[in-house]
Structure 1
Amino acid sequence: MTGAGTNHTIPSLMGGPAIILVRPQLAVNIGMCARAMANFGLSDLRLVNPREGWPRTGALRKGAYAAAAGAVHLLEQARLFASLEEAVADLNGTFATTARERGQLKPVLAADTAMAEAASRFSSGERLGILFGPERTGLANEEVALADKIVSFPVNPAYASLNLAQAVLLVGYEWMKAAHGAAPPFQPAERSPAAPREMILSFFDYLEGELARVGFFRPLAKRPVMQNNLRNMFHRMNMSEQDVSSFRGMIVRLVEGPRADRPKKKSQPPSDDKG
């Protein structure tokens, strides 16, 4: 299954720090992490002793692949390790994610600060990894000890436990902003040019004339104030030429009523003239 935002006609972003899932418990969460990685251009997925093994067949595989929602290439390329030490052996630095203070005197960074550092180091050729612990307990102290720095999130202190894929998503989002920029992926289409004053004043004259004709301005002594209020309402819209044309067209139809259907052209009967 792929989502509405999937576009296979353009190149996909790849690279970034390795996402290292340490003892993940559920195959479906591994699939959801792959989806989060694909959202933000991360492509190095490493698994350390997943509880259910690495499911490449059966129901577990089906669940993981369905949760990946089109990011199955990351599941196919995922590397399996017997220990965290093996998973980080080729890296120049690692960040450990945790919601709890561990008393290890390591620098504790917010995700945006950590990923800004990661993007800078990555562009210099360093290889980095981000550690995520199992869903129920998080990383063990011994696993956090293998990291250079800690990444944590500003969450409700009374409910700081994040879903595994949500944690990957938050880090991936900050990586995307740091490495590729924070601009939205698209902008609204250009509006038609701003309406010139002459066009707007002509519209006001027409609108106010029709409103006066049907007795809208009552009492008459308040007409100047009511006209000013109407004009200010439209001015606040910063109307384009298309806006003014549309408003005027709507009022014309209300004033004149429905358009009469154009009579259909009658087809000419075949001629009987054989001469």
Structure 2
Amino acid sequence: MENDRRPVIILVRPQMGENIGAAARAMLNFGLAEMRLVAPRDGWPNPKAVAMASGAAGRVLDRARVYPTLAEAMEGVEFAFATTARGRELSKPVHTPQSAMETARASQGRVAIIFGPERAGLENEDVARANAIVTVPVNPDFPSLNLAQAVLLMGYEWGRDDLPPEPSPHARRERAEILADRIEIERLGDHYEEKLAEAGFFFPETKAANMRMNLRNMWARLVLTRGDVRILHGILRQLTRR
């Protein structure tokens, strides 16, 4: 598409159809739609890729184009990032995924992200065709990422500004059930304080007032729904039943 500013994903000599399908799923998670394949080892189309793409991501594969060389796959691309975890003797700017996609968003032309084959990654000849390198800051003792993971990371960094905001756990919970009000929390605290006093919990007497205050403070900090309060009352009644 002429005005499509989304990065092109180029997979160079991918070896397994399953990894191509998983990469397509990762792309679609973040709205990336154009995949280009350079000399896939097992040919194209690949039924294992289709099976792994699972449903909607199959449309990424349906539109995927195959090229014999990386140079030809760079058609229409004005700026390209090569992903690699290894040090290179080639002198190029090195980006993290975040800074790479910030550069991509600011670019006026089409950007490509190039990924190498699963076993060994991109060759120097491939990297030489890119404008810059992207390296993921991972554990130096185990820097290996599989193909789909690498695509997912880059896709996330591209799409993060456009992703729908994720509500906090408390916000999700409030929609599911009404939170207990302060009176309900107070009554719960009274119930526990009464039963704990009967059990001799507030001992010695010189520390009792401070123990009661800490217990009230604990109840006030908790985010409880009305259902939670009912359960906690029920637990205490069951435990103190004679």
Provide TM-score, normalisation by structure 1: 0.72
Specify whether residues 222 and 50 from structure 1 end up closer, same or farther in structure 2 by C-alpha distance, changes over 3 A only.
same
Cα separation, 1, equivalents of 2:86 and 2:112: 20
Cα separation, 2, equivalents of 1:199 and 1:164: 52
Cα separation, 2, equivalents of 1:205 and 1:128: 63
Where do 1:221-236 residues align within 5 Å? Answer: 222-236=207-221
Q: CA deviation at 1:205?
A: 3.6
1:150 aligns with 2:136: no
Contact in 2 for aligned 1:15/1:44 (Cα 8 Å): no
Picking from 68, 77, 83, the partner of 2:53 is 68
Structure 2: stretches of 5+ with no match in the other structure: none
In the other structure, the counterpart of 1:184 is: 166
Picking from 62, 65, 68, the partner of 1:79 is 65
1:28 aligns with 2:18: yes
In the other structure, the counterpart of 1:52 is: 42
Specify whether residues 88 and 185 from structure 1 end up closer, same or farther in structure 2 by C-alpha distance, changes over 3 A only.
farther
In the other structure, the counterpart of 1:168 is: 151
Q: CA deviation at 1:227?
A: 2.1
Structure 1: stretches of 5+ with no match in the other structure: 1-13, 258-275
Contact in 1 for aligned 2:77/2:111 (Cα 8 Å): yes
Task: Give the length in aligned residue pairs.
Answer: 234
Cα separation, 1, equivalents of 2:173 and 2:5: 32
Q: CA deviation at 1:155?
A: 2.4
1:12-42, Cα deviation, whole Å (9 max, x unpaired): xx97211101111112211111111112211
1:113-152, Cα deviation, whole Å (9 max, x unpaired): 001111232xx4x211111111222222222121111111
Cα separation, 2, equivalents of 1:222 and 1:102: 66
1:137 aligns with 2:127: no
Cα RMSD (Å): 2.9
Cα separation, 2, equivalents of 1:206 and 1:160: 55
Specify whether residues 255 and 157 from structure 1 end up closer, same or farther in structure 2 by C-alpha distance, changes over 3 A only.
closer
Q: Which amino acid letter does the alignment assign opposite residue 116 of structure 1?
A: E
Cα separation, 1, equivalents of 2:9 and 2:67: 13
Q: CA deviation at 1:73?
A: 1.4
Picking from 94, 97, 111, the partner of 1:111 is 97
Cα separation, 1, equivalents of 2:75 and 2:127: 15
1:96 aligns with 2:99: no
Specify whether residues 47 and 217 from structure 1 end up closer, same or farther in structure 2 by C-alpha distance, changes over 3 A only.
same
Of the two, which has the highest radius of gyration?
A: 1
Contact in 1 for aligned 2:31/2:159 (Cα 8 Å): yes
Q: Secondary structure at the match of 1:188?
A: helix
Cα separation, 2, equivalents of 1:193 and 1:136: 52
Specify whether residues 212 and 68 from structure 1 end up closer, same or farther in structure 2 by C-alpha distance, changes over 3 A only.
same
- Stretch of structure 1 that moved more, 109-118 or 166-175: 166-175
Q: Which amino acid letter does the alignment assign opposite residue 104 of structure 2?
A: A
Contact in 2 for aligned 1:44/1:78 (Cα 8 Å): yes
Cα separation, 2, equivalents of 1:240 and 1:52: 55
Cα separation, 2, equivalents of 1:205 and 1:194: 15
Provide TM-score, normalisation by structure 2: 0.81
